[in-house]
Every structure is written in structure tokens, then in C-alpha cells.
């Protein structure tokens, strides 16, 4: 088959949870650029619609939908809307997730100071927030005998970072679930169903900006340590995810399932 045809995504329908975030929005825009009808799912239409308007301004097709990734009924309503309007769904990207300060251990704290309530929120957002959309929307894929799920993992899943206990544990579970679901769907519904994950390294976002950068833009001590252990010597940029994303969404990876692709500038390969 012609390579251009293998990469052809035009007319596909995708849904991105957390699609209004830094990485989610970037992924939505690159898919739309390649002709994918892109759905942006979030808890507020205002934020998701902002990404939709950027896509439309650039000539792409997109739509905004509102749902909490921890609410099955709301997700089912979105599923029914997509089937009613487009008749199919081809790609699900589980980009919703994140961390909160209460699930981390500050340098002057110990594990005994961590609050269960905050830990539970991080585990729910990242784990249930990936598993539940996968459960709801993969039903479409099972009926179609085709569909792609891409989960968002993290380098912290493979190499736990000091202080970041809750998020590291949650993302490690994402890696495990990705492999489990890949086997579950392909073995029961056919080779047309694939599940993989992308593990970003360190990208500057709202949640980690103050941890990695000082107000003047210089590196914090934490930021310096990370760059020292990143062979490419910089933080990631949203566009750095494009290649892995397009590969996993296209037929270029049609015999690839159950893997995690690191996009980290070599951080995960570095040792002290």
C-alpha cells in the first residue's frame, strides 16, 4: 500500500478527553489538520469550544461536548450524540488527567503527611478517567470491529520521581491498563481494535510551571535536575507529540498494540 494512504486520516472521527488542555488541544489541532473530525470533551463548553474555534479558524472540522470523565451517564450521552451525528467513532484519546499538590510529598514532608482524599482524587482522575471512557466508547469499536484508543501515560510511570507519589502510581496503572485492554479488545473483537499509549516526558503546563520555572523564566532547582537528565537538553513542546500521535492513529501502526511510546528527549533512558 502507498505510504501516503497508510497515513491517510481524512474523514476519521476522533474524541479527545481533556482536549482543552495544553497537550490535548495540540493533539486535537494536528489531527484536524490531517482531516480528522475532532471532538473536544471537557467539563465546560467554554474551554472546549475555544479549541474548536481555533481548529475551525484553521480550516478544520471539530465539535465540543461536555462531560465529566468520571460520570458514565454523561459519557454515554456523548457516545449517543456522536453516533447520531457522525454514525461512527474511529479514535479515542484519553488525555484527561493531572496531579494535585496534596498527592505529592514536599521536600520537608514524609509519606505520613499525604492526605488520602487528595491521593484518591489523583487516582480517580487518571485511572477511572481513562478506564471509564474506554469502557463507554470502545463499545462503538466492538460493534464496528475497528477503532483506536490512545492513552496518555508519563515518564513517571516507568521511573518514579521523588515527591510525585500519587501521579506516578496512577500513570503506572495506565501502562498496565493499556496492555490489558489491548489484549482484551483484539482477542475478543478482532485485529481492527488497537490500544496504545504515549508517555510524554517533561512539558511545561499550568500544573508544573512553577515547579520547573522561576517567575523570570529561569530553571528552578527541580527544573535543572530534569534538564541535566534529559539528553536533548530541553523541555518538550506540544508539537513533539505529533509524530507518535499520527503513527498510532494511522494504518502505519496497524500491527502495533499494547505498547507505550516515550516522547521524552531521552529522559527515560538516562541513568546517574
- Which residues are known catalytic residues? 167
* Radius of gyration (C-alpha) of the chain in whole angstroms: 18
List residues bridging with 17 in a β-sheet: 41, 94
> What is residue 93's three-state secondary structure?
strand
The number of residues making up the chain comes to 272
| Spatial distance between the Cα atoms of 50 and 48, rounded to a whole number of angstroms | 5
C-beta separation of 19 from 97 below 8 A: no
| Number of neighbours of residue 272 by Cβ within 10 angstroms | 4
| 91-94/147-152 β-pairing | parallel
| Spatial distance between the Cα atoms of 177 and 21, rounded to a whole number of angstroms | 23
| Spatial distance between the Cα atoms of 29 and 150, rounded to a whole number of angstroms | 16
C-beta separation of 197 from 216 below 8 A: no
Grid cell digits, residue 253: 501502526
C-beta separation of 89 from 141 below 8 A: yes
In degrees and rounded to multiples of 5, residue 232 shows phi and psi of -75, -5
| Spatial distance between the Cα atoms of 97 and 105, rounded to a whole number of angstroms | 19
Amino acid at each position: 500500500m502507498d505510504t501516503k494512504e497508510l497515513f491517510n486520516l481524512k474523514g476519521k472521527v476522533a474524541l479527545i478527553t481533556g482536549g482543552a488542555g495544553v497537550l490535548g488541544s495540540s493533539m486535537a489541532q494536528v489531527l484536524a489538520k490531517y482531516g480528522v473530525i475532532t471532538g473536544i470533551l471537557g467539563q465546560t463548553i467554554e474551554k472546549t469550544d475555544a479549541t474548536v474555534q481555533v481548529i475551525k479558524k484553521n480550516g478544520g472540522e471539530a465539535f465540543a461536548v461536555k462531560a465529566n470523565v468520571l460520570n458514565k451517564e454523561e459519557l454515554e450521552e456523548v457516545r449517543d450524540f456522536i453516533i447520531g451525528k457522525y454514525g461512527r467513532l474511529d479514535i479515542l484519546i484519553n488525555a484527561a488527567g493531572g496531579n494535585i499538590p496534596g498527592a505529592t510529598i514536599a521536600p520537608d514532608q514524609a509519606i505520613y503527611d499525604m492526605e488520602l482524599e487528595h491521593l484518591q482524587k489523583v487516582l480517580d482522575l487518571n485511572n477511572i478517567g481513562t478506564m471509564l471512557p474506554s469502557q463507554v466508547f470502545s463499545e462503538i469499536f466492538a460493534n464496528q470491529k475497528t477503532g483506536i484508543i490512545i492513552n496518555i501515560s508519563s515518564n513517571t510511570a516507568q521511573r518514579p520521581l521523588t515527591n510525585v507519589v500519587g501521579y506516578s502510581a496512577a500513570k503506572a496503572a495506565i501502562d498496565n491498563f493499556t496492555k490489558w485492554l489491548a489484549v482484551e479488545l483484539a482477542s475478543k473483537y478482532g485485529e481492527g481494535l488497537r490500544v496504545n499509549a504515549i508517555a510524554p516526558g517533561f512539558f511545561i503546563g499550568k500544573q508544573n510551571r512553577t515547579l520547573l520555572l522561576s517567575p523570570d523564566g529561569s530553571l528552578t532547582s527541580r527544573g535543572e535536575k530534569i534538564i541535566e537528565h534529559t539528553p536533548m537538553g530541553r523541555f518538550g513542546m506540544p508539537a513533539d507529540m505529533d509524530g507518535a500521535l499520527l503513527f498510532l492513529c494511522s494504518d502505519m501502526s496497524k500491527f502495533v498494540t499494547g505498547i507505550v511510546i516515550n516522547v521524552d528527549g531521552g529522559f527515560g533512558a538516562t541513568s546517574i
